[in-house]
Structure 1
Amino acid sequence: MAFHRFYETWFDNLHLLVDQLTQAPKPPTTQDHHHLLHQLVQKTMGHYAEYYRVKSLAAKQDVLSVFAAPWSTSLERSLHWIGGWRPTTAFHLVYTESSIMFESQIMDILRGVRTGDLGDLSPGQFRRVSELQCDTVREENAITNELSEWQDGASDMLGNLCGNIDEKIEGLGRALEKADDLRLRTLRNVVEILTPQQAVQFLVAAAELQFGVHAWGLNHDRRRSNK
């Protein structure tokens, strides 16, 4: 319950951060603007890091409750991968936002006008994003396999509840810890590849996706409870 309260406050503060990100000057026209964007990106990344820090503490107290995520909607839980969002979602978001912005500004880009946003990713940035995606997929698969092995051992756990239940639960906690570490590292590595302007756009898009899924989930749960 303590983490539930933390999450509600954290989620409200994420809304405030996104308001700051969307109000920042784009494109940045002065060095001060560049510095402001950099500060906002670092502040947002710190906000995500704090979430995973507190979540890790909560998981050490009760990993099963953290896995169940009662603070999330039914829709959000249906999309979870090992207690949260799938890290490779970040790359789909980069490619989608880049494609949308590129198409909306294609005439300017063909005339050689550099927009500096996600629609203007350089070949080097695309290469680094692609390489990072491959590495992330490999780590995702390894953690998924680890969880599958844990689940395969569930029958043994049920047959010997008094003997190794604590050890089994600790294994689940380790899988969650690795998944959350990959989630945060993926965000950090993507942001590191992008310019401050691009990072702002990526973080806004990621948060808006989170807000949208949460709102859809709330509406669905309310309709279901009213039946």
Structure 2
Amino acid sequence: MMQSSSSSSSIHGNFINKDTGSYDLSELDQALFLYLDGQNQSTVQDQRQNSGMRPPTLNIFPSQPMHVEPSSTKREGNRKGPTSGSEHEGPKTPDAKTLRRLAQNREAARKSRLRKKAYVQQLESSRIKLTQLEQELQRARAQGIFFGGAGLLGGEQGLPVGVNNISSDAAMFDMEYARWLEEHHRLMSELRAAVQEHIPENELRLFVDNCLAHYDQVINLKAMLAKTDVFHLVSGMWKTPAERCFMWLGGFRPSELIKIIPNQVEPLTEQQILGICGLQQSTQEAEEALSQGLEALNQSLSDTITSDSLSCPTNMTNYMGQMALAINKLSTLEGFVRQADNLRHQTLHRLQQILTTRQAARCLLAIAEYFHRLRTLSSLWLARPRQE
């Protein structure tokens, strides 16, 4: 009875229209119907409790009037239908541009793997050569042989001038230069194959740029050695005998190299011919200026050394002063070698700017073949039959 009284008061309080003060009979009828239905459920609940079953949660009155429509959130959730057809579509087929880019990426990755493999092989080859070089140095020290092919030379007190005349930096440079030559041969082979296959200009440009960058590497190697042993560069002992015949300040004369280019890259336009002629003239003028500076250095050194008696130094203080002055003047030789290498570097890069990409490729191949023939000539000369 207490539950019925509280329910009745709840019905009375919840279904009075606050605006008119009257009962809302439609909602009251619905609530009473739900209440009676709840009583029936309560009887079922008592029976389930007696049987040990858990009763369901009672809901005598609805949480809101039954004439109110469901919330907008619930309506929006019901309105959501299946996703658009685009979400169920499968992956789109890549277009031609994407396929081409993927193919280029795969090819670049393949070439990168090949370069890495070749680099590892070069490192292993360099390690073996370094081991052989160390063994040769040890044998040379034991036998007193001059390392460099100059034969046995007499030194002070009858001691042979042995391998110690070659500094460790010079020996390391010789080994690095040998490795550079091997890499240079490989790059030239790739460039020759690319030219013969008539690949597009933009792809051929990559091969040309790699070859130019490789020339820059040997110039950097020479610059490092010039700081510690410039005489080794100027003497040309790291070159073959035939190459030494054409050496100028530790390398080739760029103006002489320009002369062999036009016949190898024809046909040339009139503008290209003018550009090559202008480059050759400016290069010759720069070479002449360096040659005059080197001649002036030689004369200055000679004057410094002979400023005192050559028969016997009369004053040791003056003698040591002369030697110190000569050393200071001789240190400028490094600057001459650096300027000559810069001129060679500028000439190669200027030629590539004047020529087309395909002409530049043929130009680099011609230069490489020129020096290859000089090295071959040296090998044939040393292997020639000699008469007693």
TM-score range, shorter chain: 0.7 to 0.9
Aligned pair partner of 1:76 in 217, 228, 243? 243
Aligned pair partner of 2:283 in 136, 144, 147? 136
Corresponding residue of 1:90: 257
Whether the 8 Å CA contact 1:26–1:197 is kept in 2: the answer is: no
Whether the 8 Å CA contact 2:305–2:323 is kept in 1: the answer is: no
Following superposition, the deviation at residue 156 of structure 1 comes to: 2.7
Aligned pair partner of 2:184 in 11, 14, 31? 14
1:184 and 2:331 matched: no
What letter is aligned with 1:127?
Answer: L
Following superposition, the deviation at residue 28 of structure 1 comes to: 4.0
1:54 and 2:215 matched: no
Pair 226,58 (structure 1): closer, same or farther in 2 beyond 3 Å = farther
Corresponding residue of 1:39: 206
Match of 2:239, SS state, is coil
Pair 218,120 (structure 1): closer, same or farther in 2 beyond 3 Å = same
Corresponding residue of 1:101: none
Distance 2:173 2:355 in 1: 32
What letter is aligned with 2:348?
Answer: L
1:153 and 2:320 matched: no
Deviations along 1:112-164, one digit per CA (max 9) or x if unpaired, are xxxxxx21211111111111111111101100101111111231343455222
Residue identity (%): 26
1:220 and 2:378 matched: no
What letter is aligned with 1:187?
Answer: L
Deviations along 1:69-120, one digit per CA (max 9) or x if unpaired, are 22212221111011110010232111232xxxxxxxxxxxxxxxxxxxx212
1:170 and 2:331 matched: yes
TM-score (norm 1): 0.84
Following superposition, the deviation at residue 44 of structure 1 comes to: 0.3
CA RMSD across the alignment: 1.9
Comparing 199-208 with 150-159, greater Cα deviation is found at 150-159
Whether the 8 Å CA contact 1:28–1:197 is kept in 2: the answer is: no
Corresponding residue of 1:114: none
Match of 1:83, SS state, is coil
Structure with larger RCO (C-alpha < 8 A, sep 6+): 1
Following superposition, the deviation at residue 223 of structure 1 comes to: 3.8
> Which structure: greater helix fraction?
1
Q: Which has the larger radius of gyration?
A: 2
Whether the 8 Å CA contact 2:195–2:361 is kept in 1: the answer is: no
What letter is aligned with 1:202?
Answer: C
